[in-house]
Amino acid sequence: MVAALTRVFGVHNIALAEDVVQDAFCRAMEVWKFRGIPENPSAWLMATAKNRALDVLRRQRTARTSAPELGRLLESEWTLAPVVDELFAPNVIKDDLLRMMFSCCHPRLSEEAQVALILHILCGFSVGEIASAFVSGHAAIEKRIQRAKKVLAGSKRLFDVTLPADFSARLPAVHRALYLLFNEGYHGASAESAVRAQLCHEAMRLAAILLEHPRGATSTTYALSALMCLNAARLPARVDASGKLTSLFEQDRLLWDRKLVLEGLKLLELSASGSELTAYHVEAALASVHATAPRTEDTNWATIVSLYDTLMTIHPSPIVALNRAIAVAQHEGPERGLEEIDAIEDRKRLSAYPFYSAALGELELRRGRHETAREHFRAALALARNPMERRYLERRMNACERDDSQHVGFYEEFQNPPLAFESCLQGVRRS
Amino acid sequence: MSEFTFLFRGRDTSASPEQMQKTTQKWVAWFKELNEKGHIKDPGHPLEPAGKVVMGKQKTVHDGPYAEAKDIVGGFTLIEAKDLSQAVELSKGCPIFEVGGSVEVRPIQILNM
């Protein structure tokens, strides 16, 4: 809604657009208290916001502060209402979302700021919600968003999605932001699974909007959507009934969302149309191998290892190498896995990453070295980033005590580190 | 059965959107419950916080009411209840108390003939 109104008022007037939405929302809340909530609340809100926008525009007409793109159309009463009506038509709103999505991925903004801005403006998350999703301070997020909005306002007008060259130039940044948004939900630090699922769904919704645009529906966008669907399909099984993280190996695969798996596979097929092969393609392929294995034992580890090999050539990173080593261990035994980990070039950069130590612990446990395993899990525990990870690692540590040879396997954190860890890696790189 | 009005005063202007949504849901639930028990004569309406006040023989028109948020009537509802004490009991379910508001319960004056 803010996206639509920003088009009406101009990008330098985001605050006004937000005020109008806020006002419409408050009014609706008051009236609905007494008269009940209507069948289609969002349509009501939209209509209310539209009327408020008309009021504001009428009041401001002489001031000419509105969208330069629409110029004079908003200045005459003859054209004002029809133009605003048109701007609020469902298909136009989709374009507005797209325009705003591209605007938010402004090259002058850091990736973290882009994601925060998308969440705030396009997904309607409050500062508090974003702060809790990123496990960050309220003030820090507020500042980040304020600063980002200023940059956006400075750009004078919204991104023009009708210019093919600009569109393709900005598209990778949009992919990246949606990918990070999804990962923040999938691996992020928020302990509330509801928050996390919401982040994933928002990323998928925005990716779907991108797919609907002729220039947005590239092979890479298909790959990105496929990877989101295939991973999201596992969301219902990732946290068990008691709120405990479960690894890929112990998940109840019957809980996986079959519909999303099928959707993901279809998208993956569509992504194969071009000659382009991106990390998203490979990650989607990896997710599809897991998603189509009825049991852990049925997983085709050889394929997984070779996919990681490909990923290493496109996007080499110690985390990808670590996950490759884990796949090798699945395929050829824990000793081989440990060798591979040993051979990771810039292994030092993984030292702050809890699941590096956890992987070592897991492999040592498998070859029966309980004491060593326990030490690794203890080290991992000290690095845990949130209560869910902490509980998971404690559980693994206890498994060493119990002389528990039954291995539940690795925490399902694949090649895509969440934002928080990405910046932690960068910190290591800098020092 | 007698009729009463509930006059609601006070609203929380600092609530976040999520809190507002929750509050609205509580109100809706409360109205639903009263309605199912046959106590709602008319759900009434919320009132805009400001309008005009016309006063005195001169009928002077003022902006207003200028009072503190907690004293401004924010809405009204018509209730059917056995007697005043039952109406008071019914009012106690109102979510407005959670935000420090009040409900004024006033019997509608009628002439028994």
pTM of the shown model: 0.69
A128 interaction partners in chain B (CB closer than 8 Å): 16
Phi–psi pair at A344, nearest 5 degrees: -65, 130
Name residues 102-141 of chain A within 8 A of B (Cβ).
126, 128-129
Kindly list the distances between the CA atom of residue B27 and the CA atoms of A90, B86, B87, in Å, as whole numbers in the listed order: 31, 19, 17
DSSP string for residues in A129-146: HHHHHTT--HHHHHHHHH
Query: B60-64 and B73-81 as β-strands: parallel, antiparallel, unpaired?
Result: unpaired
Q: For an interface test with A, give the residue of B6, B20, B24, B76 to mutate (most A CBs within 10 A).
A: B24
Q: How many CA atoms lie within 13 A of A412 on its CB side?
A: 24
pLDDT at A225 over 90: yes
A40 Cβ contact list (under 8 Å, min separation 6): none
Name residues 9-28 of chain A within 8 A of B (Cβ).
22, 25-26
Q: Assess contact for A151 and A108: CB atoms under 8 A.
A: yes
Q: Quickly tell me which residue has 């850091």 as its tokens.
A: A110
Closest CA to A221 of A176, A165, A288: A176
- CA dist A264 and A231 (Å) reads 9
Nearest CA in chain B to A29: B24
Name residues 59-88 of chain B within 8 A of A (Cβ).
74-75, 77
More confident call, B90 vs A98: B90
Q: Are residues A35 and B77, on separate chains, in Cβ contact within 8 Å? A: no
| Confidence category of residue A50, pLDDT binned at 50, 70, 90 | confident
Q: What percent of chain A has pLDDT over 70?
A: 78
A22 interaction partners in chain B (CB closer than 8 Å): 17
Closest CA to A356 of A321, A386, A391: A321
Per the structure block, which two tokens stand in for A142? 């507020």
Q: Are residues B20 and A26, on separate chains, in Cβ contact within 8 Å? A: yes
The amino acid occupying position B54 is V
Quote the mean pLDDT of chain A: 79
**Residue B64, Ramachandran bin (φ over 0: left; ψ between -120 and 50: alpha; else beta):** left
What is the average pLDDT across B27-55?
91
Please determine, for the modelled complex, whether the ipTM score is greater than 0.85. no
Q: Are residues A35 and B23, on separate chains, in Cβ contact within 8 Å? A: no
| Confidence category of residue A80, pLDDT binned at 50, 70, 90 | low
A397 Cβ contact list (under 8 Å, min separation 6): A361, A374, A377, A378, A381
Task: Please name the member of A29, A128, A129 whose beta carbon is closest to the beta carbon of B24.
Answer: A29
Closest CA to A42 of A56, A28, A30: A28
- CA dist A309 and A324 (Å) reads 7
- The pLDDT, as a whole number, for residue A21 is 78
More confident call, A297 vs A426: A297
Note the pLDDT tens digit of each residue in B44-73: 999 988 889 999 999 999 887 877 777 889
- CA dist A97 and A100 (Å) reads 5
Nearest CA in chain B to A31: B46
* Residue B80 to chain A, least CA–CA distance (Å): 16
Phi–psi pair at A129, nearest 5 degrees: -65, -40
Q: Assess contact for A49 and A24: CB atoms under 8 A.
A: yes
Phi–psi pair at A237, nearest 5 degrees: -100, -5
- The pLDDT, as a whole number, for residue A71 is 54
A194 Cβ under 8 Å from any chain B Cβ? no
DSSP string for residues in B71-103: GSEEEEEEEEESSHHHHHHHHTT-GGGGGT-EE
* Residue B113 to chain A, least CA–CA distance (Å): 33
- CA dist A427 and A349 (Å) reads 9
Domain positions in chain A are 1-88, 97-188
* Residue A25 to chain B, least CA–CA distance (Å): 8
User: Which residues lie across from B54 on neighbouring strands?
Assistant: B61
User: Which residues lie across from B105 on neighbouring strands?
Assistant: B6
Nearest CA in chain A to B96: A33
What is the average pLDDT across A394-400?
85
B50 Cβ under 8 Å from any chain A Cβ? no
Nearest CA in chain B to A32: B24
- The pLDDT, as a whole number, for residue A89 is 67
Task: Please name the member of B17, B27, B28 whose beta carbon is closest to the beta carbon of A126.
Answer: B17
Residue ranges and CATH numbers for the domains of chain B are 2-107 (3.30.70.1060)
A37 Cβ under 8 Å from any chain B Cβ? yes
* Residue A386 to chain B, least CA–CA distance (Å): 24
